[in-house]
Amino acid sequence: MGVKGLIISGDFNKVIARQKSEQSLQIGELLIGKTADSNVLLQVTDLLYASQISQQNLELVSGMNLEQGSPIEFFDENLRAYNLAILKSLIVTDQDSAQLCKQLPSFLSPIRDITKEDLSFITTPKNPLSLGKLRSGSKAVNVDIALNGVDVFSHHILIPATTGKGKSNLTSCILWDCVDKEYCGILVLDPHDEYYGRTKTGLKDHPQKDKVSYYTPNNPPPGEKTLKINIQNIKPYHFDGAANWSPPQRQALSMFYKKFGKKWVEAVVMDKDLDQSTRFFQDGTLAVIKRKLLSILDLDWDGEKLDCKGIFCLKGGDTTINDICTDLEKSKTVIIDTSHFAGDVEILIGSLISSELLKKYKHYKLTGELKEKPVINIVLEEAPRVLGKEVLEKGPNIFSTIAREGRKFKVGLTAITQLPSLIPREILANMNTKIILGIEMAPERQAIIDSASQDLSDDNRNIASLDIGEAIITSNFSKFATPIKIPLFEEVVKQTKDSKPKAKNSFSGIQMS
């Protein structure tokens, strides 16, 4: 294995190595250094020029080249002009084990490329969630990176990235990997209707498509379901995060629910009497809640007949929420196409499902059945809409509750965002796995660095330089902040062979001509 450089100075946080002349190092590249008795996995965090020639002479020589056209030539050029690399120690490896690094690599010891053998400590965990290949700089190393899916999903995932850096590709890859896994059920609130793949490659093309359930309000593909939710399934607290209620409005909703039970929405919009309690509320309060309910639920009340124009209906849709929860408990991936809805409706739908799910899983914990259940993860695009500081200042919602306590009940979130800085620090810290894609804005990078599971204080530049499909995983469940290369979703689909044996078609009972 060729030597790439020599360690020459620095301190524990910043090991400095001189790069060998014909070698080329990249930011993020992984290298192996040596201590007296083990190997140290190092990563390049910065690169800089160095020269034995004084700055004054360099300026003079370059001036002669620019102004007079004189060629730049040095005696023993390789010795006098070179690059330095700033390295950080990631872990110490010893055969199949790895520990956090607490020592410096040996002074003046060589550094070299990593080999597969150096990485033998990276093994496939139980319930693997595949995330891609290990990456050294911009090169993929043929080592699969997978984390324990049960741990990772229940302790929440954050996927921060600037637009175009591959958030959708990564999410598609994760979902594809999870479809046939029995350890997890995934709920995707899909505001761009991109993951099922109506018009392009998507989860519909998975060999185990029967483990994908797709709900859409309009024109579902054959075999998929129309999203219809009976308004009798809605409870006042489902609106937390979806609608802003003043304290009197909130109290009025509770009163209606207490008096009319499942028919409370109909009671509000049809101006049904709360009897004695009505006098506690001003007409304006009742009018506002009626107007808001009519608007969010897309209902029409002409004084005589209540019509449902949207997905919230009076007939049918009785079992939708329970069907979705049951599918998730059967380790299915459920995609809800919310592309036709305004933000508040999307949040209401998410809140309805998530609340019921968390309620069920809390019950399972109580009855001791939880260990038999798959972990459930809820994928939230543009997460600050429900987990943002501004939103949570108005009160908690089901998603902030899950972020805080969901892991105890095997319910987790995957929050996808361009603006992680809008999410409160407390919630960011609870997201125990972060799959960081390229982020150009410094405040957003800082928010991630400040809440990462590993020390990323030297990785600001590294994160900024992440190209499309490159990521860094920082997680409580990985030994070090792991650079990965995410495969292209279309390639993953192509590589997945249809392994399910095809049953012979038989059409008994149909009279054949």
Partner 1 sequence: MKFAHIADCHIGSWRDPLLKDLAITAFEKAIDKTIEEKVDFVIIAGDLFNTSFPPVDQLKRTVTKLKQLKDNNIPVYFIAGSHDYSPSGKTMLDVLENAGLATNVCKGEIIDGKLKLQFTTDPKTGAKLTGILGKMGALEEKYFEQLDRNSLESESGHKIFLFHALLTELKPKSYEKVDSYAVSTLPKSFDYYAGGHPHFVLSEKMGEKGIIAYTGPLFPNSFSELEELKHGGFFIVEDQQSTRIPIKLHDVESWKLDCNKKVPEQIQAELKTLIEKAELKDKIITLRLSGTLESGKPSDINFKEIFDSIKEKGAYAILKNSSALTTKDFEEIKIEVAHKDQLEESLINEHISKDDVDHLDPIALSKKLLETLDNNKEEGETVYNFEKRLKEEVEKILH
Under the binding rule (CB under 8 A), the answer on residue 4 touching partner 1 is no
User: Among 13-21, 57-65, 315-323, 399-407, which window interacts with partner 1 (CB under 8 A)?
Assistant: 315-323
Eight-class DSSP state of 163:
T
Closest to partner 1 by CB, 13 or 218: 218
**Pairing state of beta strands 212-216 and 333-337?**
parallel
Backbone angles phi, psi at 360, to 5 degrees: -60, -45
Under the binding rule (CB under 8 A), the answer on residue 508 touching partner 1 is yes
CA–CA separation, 410 vs 406, rounded Å? 6
Under the binding rule (CB under 8 A), the answer on residue 49 touching partner 1 is no
Closest to partner 1 by CB, 180 or 440: 180
Taking the CA atoms of residue 379, residue 384, residue 387 and residue 388 in that order, the dihedral angle to the nearest 10 degrees is 170
Under the binding rule (CB under 8 A), the answer on residue 199 touching partner 1 is no
- Joined tokens for residue 497: 């062979």
Under the binding rule (CB under 8 A), the answer on residue 331 touching partner 1 is no
DSSP string, 208-273: TGGGEEEEESS-PPTTPEE--EEGGG--GGGGBTTB---HHHHHHHHHHHHHHGGGHHHHHHTT--
Residue of the chain from 319, 394, 429, 467 that contacts partner 1 (CB under 8 A): 319
Shortest separation between residue 315's beta carbon and partner 1, angstroms: 6
Shortest separation between residue 393's beta carbon and partner 1, angstroms: 37
Residue of the chain from 320, 331, 354, 355 that contacts partner 1 (CB under 8 A): 320
Shortest separation between residue 445's beta carbon and partner 1, angstroms: 44
- Strand stretches in 295-391, DSSP E: 299-301, 306-308, 312-313, 333-337, 375-380
Q: One symbol per residue from 347 to 376: x for binding partner 1 (CB under 8 A), - otherwise; what is it?
A: ----------------------x--x----
Among 124, 165, 116, which Cα is nearest to 472's? 165
Biggest alpha carbon–alpha carbon distance for the chain: 99
Shortest separation between residue 308's beta carbon and partner 1, angstroms: 12
Return all residues near 455 (Cβ < 8 A) that are at least 6 apart.
none
Residue of the chain from 163, 199, 219, 499 that contacts partner 1 (CB under 8 A): 219
Shortest separation between residue 508's beta carbon and partner 1, angstroms: 6
CA–CA separation, 462 vs 439, rounded Å? 10
Backbone angles phi, psi at 359, to 5 degrees: -60, -45
CA–CA separation, 358 vs 378, rounded Å? 11
Closest to partner 1 by CB, 54 or 511: 511
- Joined tokens for residue 111: 């550094």
Under the binding rule (CB under 8 A), the answer on residue 218 touching partner 1 is yes
What Rg do the C-alpha atoms of the chain give, in angstroms? Answer: 28
Shortest separation between residue 314's beta carbon and partner 1, angstroms: 11
Cβ proximity of 35 and 106 under 8 Å: yes
Residue of the chain from 102, 305, 315, 497 that contacts partner 1 (CB under 8 A): 315
Under the binding rule (CB under 8 A), the answer on residue 228 touching partner 1 is yes
User: Among 161-169, 314-322, 398-406, 448-456, which window interacts with partner 1 (CB under 8 A)?
Assistant: 314-322
Q: How many residues bind partner 1 (CB under 8 A)?
A: 31
Residue of the chain from 63, 261, 284, 316 that contacts partner 1 (CB under 8 A): 316
Residue 72's identity, in one-letter code, is: I
Shortest separation between residue 219's beta carbon and partner 1, angstroms: 7
92's enclosing H/E stretch is: strand 81-94
Shortest separation between residue 344's beta carbon and partner 1, angstroms: 23
Residue of the chain from 11, 273, 499, 512 that contacts partner 1 (CB under 8 A): 512
Find where tokens 């390049």 sit.
44
Shortest separation between residue 200's beta carbon and partner 1, angstroms: 19
User: Among 127-135, 222-230, 417-425, 455-463, which window interacts with partner 1 (CB under 8 A)?
Assistant: 222-230
Cβ proximity of 309 and 269 under 8 Å: no
In three-state secondary structure terms, 300 is strand
CA–CA separation, 45 vs 37, rounded Å? 25
Eight-class DSSP state of 383:
T
Shortest separation between residue 372's beta carbon and partner 1, angstroms: 5
Under the binding rule (CB under 8 A), the answer on residue 510 touching partner 1 is yes
User: Among 15-23, 101-109, 313-321, 385-393, which window interacts with partner 1 (CB under 8 A)?
Assistant: 313-321
User: Among 140-148, 220-228, 400-408, 475-483, which window interacts with partner 1 (CB under 8 A)?
Assistant: 220-228
Binding stretches for partner 1 (CB under 8 A): 218-226, 228, 315-320, 322-323, 369, 372, 503-513
